[in-house]
Amino acid sequence: MKLKPQQLREFDELGYLVIQDCFSELEVAVLRAEAERIYASNREEVWHERSGAPRTAFAAHRYNEAFAILGRHPRLIEPIEQFFGEPVYMHQFKINAKAPFDGELWQWHQDYGTWKRDDGMPDARAMNIAVFLDEVFAVNGPLMFIPKSHKGGTLAAVHDKATTSYPLWTLDNETVTQLVEVGGIVAPTGRPGTVLMFHGNLAHASPPNITPFPRKIVYLTLCAVSNHITKFTRPEFIAHRDFTPITACEDGALFDYAQRYKVAAE
């Protein structure tokens, strides 16, 4: 899947791009079911909130067939190759749960702030792609973006190890206020299968989920191969050290898998 010039311009201006219904309900249903199985498993890659609810599952593309296909899907890989003009590798892969009632906030941050400081990634030539597994409403802890906040580079941040179970380099209130004065705040919503692409320096956060609605999102962090990380301070399942270029699978691969999965379940 290639992005149109208008989409590239929009991304450049705002720092993010929304692609509604990028995956079909059949394709998403299998990922949703497999995500729940992964959360229920007892693996070091699955992290929990203080309440015990799942928070995030890392590296599922390595131990789960459905997510392995997603991690090589051309609808995700090709646009990022297009952005960076070179092959990409998987820097991080996670399924964030934002569980009903218990899903805690993610503080205001830039992803590249962490990739640079913790992982020694040379440049902001890596990007997150979010794939909605559940419908994201305004009320169930949507991702909030500050449009245009990617334009100021990597901003000062503090390493917050206390607010949630996940250590994060977070922006202070004054910085967020200044960015919001320029760009405002948007919280894109959409059906399962919707995809968000956002710049590594785009400031974002998400509030807790206090509703009964689940809000699972898969995040692929795709990095230009020439921009691979140089510091190995985090576990390998969080910041991967395999810089092999990803070869995209067929566009119909997840659909075919989902059909076989459905037949097997019946």
Nearest to 103 by CA among 141, 58, 142: 141
**4 CB burial (10 A radius; 0-12, 13-18, 19+):** exposed
CA distances from 257 to 14, 68, 204, 265 (A): 35, 11, 33, 12
Q: With CB under 8 A, what is the number of residues at the site for its own copies?
A: 23
Nearer to its own copies, 122 or 208 (CB): 208
Give, in order, the Cα–Cα distances in Å from 53 to each of 76, 87, 201, 213: 28, 36, 29, 14
Question: Is residue 100 a contact residue for its own copies (CB under 8 A)?
Answer: yes
Nearer residue to its own copies within complex by CB, 74 or 188: 188
105 is an interface residue for its own copies by CB under 8 A? yes
Find the shortest distance in angstroms from Cβ 124 to its own copies.
24
Q: Is 212 in the site for its own copies (CB under 8 A)?
A: yes
Per CB under 8 A, 207 contacts its own copies: yes
The yes or no reply on residue 139 touching its own copies (CB under 8 A) is yes
Binders of its own copies among residues 220 to 259 (CB under 8 A) are: none
Q: From the list 210, 232, 233, 242, which residue makes contact with its own copies (rule: CB under 8 A)?
A: 210
Site string for its own copies, 110-129 (x = CB under 8 A): --------------------
Cβ–Cβ < 8 Å for 71, 63: no
Say if residues 108 and 205 touch (Cβ distance below 8 Å).
yes
State yes or no: residue 166 binds its own copies (CB under 8 A).
no
**Residue from 17, 176, 195, 196 in contact with its own copies (CB under 8 A):** 176
* Residue with tokens 């810089």, as numbered in its chain: 243
Are 11 and 198 in contact, with CB atoms under 8 Å apart?
no
**156 is a contact residue toward its own copies (CB under 8 A):** no
Which amino acid is residue 255, in one-letter code?
Answer: F
Asked if 144 touches its own copies (CB under 8 A), the answer is yes
Check if the beta carbon of residue 101 is closer than 8 Å to that of residue 141.
no
Range list of β-strands (E), 157-212: 158-160, 168-170, 195-199, 204-206
The least CB distance from residue 210 to its own copies, in Å, is 5
- 108 lies in the binding site for its own copies (CB under 8 A): yes
Interface contacts to its own copies, rule CB under 8 A: 100-101, 105, 107-108, 137-139, 141, 144, 173, 176-177, 180, 185, 187, 205, 207-208, 210-213
